[in-house]
Amino acid sequence: METRKGGKAGKPTLLGKLLAMLPVSCALLYPLYLAAQLDTVEAHYRNGALPREFGGLRVAYVSDIHYGAFLKEDRVRALVRRVNTLQPDLILLGGDYGDDSETAIRFFELAPSFRARFGVIAAVGNHDRTLPESNLGRLTAAMAGDGVIPLVNDVWTLEKDGKRLAVAGVDDYFNGHPDIDKVSALCRDADFTVFIPHNPDILPRTLGHGPFYQLALCGHTHGGQVTLFGHSVHCSTETGDRYRSGWYHERGADILVSNGVGTSGFPVRLGARPQIHLLTLKTE
């Protein structure tokens, strides 16, 4: 009986090699792709302490743009157009406009203007507060020149029918000189306060005897930027994942930590989609 010996397996074809590499390529490219996306997260925010005079107020929150090496001018222009299209009553900017203080200044010099019915209010972040210290004055001047109101240990108020809504901002927690006592004192006569510190690490210092605000909007964490199983691969805060992303409630205050728009270090994201927010304020 004649038997045939098995022949040697043929070498993989070029197509076969490419197909074998496809899963690995997708896994490597997906974090780059995700970093270039942007979600608009819309929500109705309800709080019984909110005066009815401010019911229906539409507040856009945008943080961690990081204009510079990875986020270029075309994406900045697209971002501003997208925010303006939401037709917000207030725009609150959460800091880290550039990769450092120089690019933060250039962001406000180059970007088209944000537009909101009552105003555009801005905090500063750690990347905005890189040396030299004199760049803080240049940055706030560039903000003002673009129609933005900077809050560095200061408060802005909106008054309607005798009621006052305050927006409070402190200097950056890491690289600045935050003055919580000054800011909280400025909010004493407000009927409702929105606190917009860049870094949520400062929040525990405000919660001990009850916060001076009802709502805090923060950035800085990028939602972890790269997360596995709900935890940051590299944590940028002293408080770890305590305020990584999303909504929290502590000592009577509501806290929203945004994933932000841009990236820091590397232009990748995983498990933390880029986002901006539109909150419609409601009374209960």
Distance (Å, whole) CA 146 – CA 46: 32
What is the mean predicted confidence (pLDDT) over 40-47?
A: 98
Distance (Å, whole) CA 21 – CA 24: 5
23-32, 166-175, 203-212: the lowest-pLDDT one: 23-32
- Say what the pLDDT of residue 280 is: 98
Residues 177-220 pLDDT 10s: 999 999 999 999 999 999 999 999 999 999 987 899 999 999 99
Q: Which domains does the chain have, with CATH numbers?
A: 38-282 (3.60.21.10)
Residues 111-162 pLDDT 10s: 899 999 999 999 999 999 999 999 999 999 999 999 999 999 999 999 999 9
What is the mean predicted confidence (pLDDT) over 51-61?
A: 98
* pLDDT bracket for residue 163 (50, 70, 90): very high
What is the mean predicted confidence (pLDDT) over 34-55?
A: 97
Residues 231-251 pLDDT 10s: 999 889 999 999 999 999 999
CA 229 to chain CA centroid, nearest Å:
22
Q: How much is the pTM?
A: 0.92
What is the mean predicted confidence (pLDDT) over 272-283?
A: 98
pLDDT at residue 1 tops 50: no
What is the mean predicted confidence (pLDDT) over 253-264?
A: 97
What is the mean predicted confidence (pLDDT) over 171-177?
A: 98
Give me the DSSP letters along 117-164: SSEEEE---TTTTPSPTTHHHHHHHHHHHTT-EE-SSEEEEEEETTEE
